[in-house]
């Protein structure tokens, strides 16, 4: 688990307000998803915290953030890995790539960036392996292509069929430990 103290520090350093459209900024303290346009949301803070805790993020790691949206999770991950790490956020909606990239650029974490996801391509195999992969959209199944982007010992956290799922890759070929951590609702992970 990512230590509570590290999570507290990351949330304090990257307040949600800076990642929300003006229209919903006064709702930043509400523990619920908030609309960021294009039918997408900035996730519920308690859910983001639970996922980041499960991801067990350490300083210096390389992290992939699938579904960067507003850029908030990308910036939080950047705080957790620190300047010796690297965070790549990928997002499929072009207007949100622009928004998320601007927010992350303003967040003072130059070791993090947001890029356009290519249609039909999940994650960023060319930048793999990643120590950690966070997915902020729901998949109907565990995508093998994301598991394959994990480094040995790496961890993937992803909602699968409504259940928050943690996948830890062992040191050997095809050694996976899969655990389930409660039911959540997310916007769908688009795979085409």
Ligand X SMILES: C[S@@+](CC[C@H](N)C(=O)[O-])C[C@H]1O[C@@H](n2cnc3c(N)ncnc32)[C@H](O)[C@@H]1O
Residue window 107-136: x/- pattern of binding to ligand X, with contact defined by CB under 6 A: ----------x----x-------------x
Question: 124 an active-site residue?
Answer: no
Q: Which of these ranges, 50-58, 90-98, 143-151, 161-169, lies near ligand X under the rule CB under 6 A?
A: 90-98
Figure out which of the listed residues 14, 40, 61, 113 binds ligand X, where binding follows CB under 6 A.
40
Q: Does residue 189 touch ligand X according to CB under 6 A?
A: yes
CA angle, 178 as apex, 155 and 3 as ends, to 5°?
45
SS percent in the chain: helix, strand, coil, step 5: 30, 30, 40
Figure out which of the listed residues 10, 54, 68, 114 binds ligand X, where binding follows CB under 6 A.
68
Number of residues in contact with ligand X, rule: CB under 6 A? 25
- Burial annotation 144-173 (CB, 10 A radius, 16+ → b, else e): eebbebbbeebbbbbbbeeebbbbbbeeee
Catalytic site positions: 43
């Amino acid at each position: 688990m990512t230590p509570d103290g590290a999570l507290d520090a990351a949330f304090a350093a990257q307040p949600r307000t800076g990642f929300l459209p003006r229209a919903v900024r006064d709702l930043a303290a509400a523990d619920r998803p908030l609309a960021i346009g294009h039918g997408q949301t900035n996730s519920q803070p308690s859910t983001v915290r639970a996922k980041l805790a499960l991801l067990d993020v350490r300083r210096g790691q390389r992290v992939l953030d699938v579904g960067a949206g507003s850029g908030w999770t990308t910036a939080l991950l950047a705080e957790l890995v620190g300047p010796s790490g690297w965070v790549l956020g990928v997002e499929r909606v072009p207007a949100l790539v622009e928004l998320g990239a601007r927010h992350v650029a303003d967040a003072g974490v130059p070791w993090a960036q947001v890029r356009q996801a290519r249609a039909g391509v999940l994650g960023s195999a060319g930048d793999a392996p990643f120590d950690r992969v966070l997915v902020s959209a729901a998949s109907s199944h565990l995508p093998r292509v994301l598991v394959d982007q994990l480094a040995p010992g790496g961890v993937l956290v992803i909602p699968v069929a409504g259940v928050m799922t943690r996948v830890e890759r062992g040191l050997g070929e095809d050694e996976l430990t899969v655990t389930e951590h409660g039911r959540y609702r997310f916007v769908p992970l688009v795979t085409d």
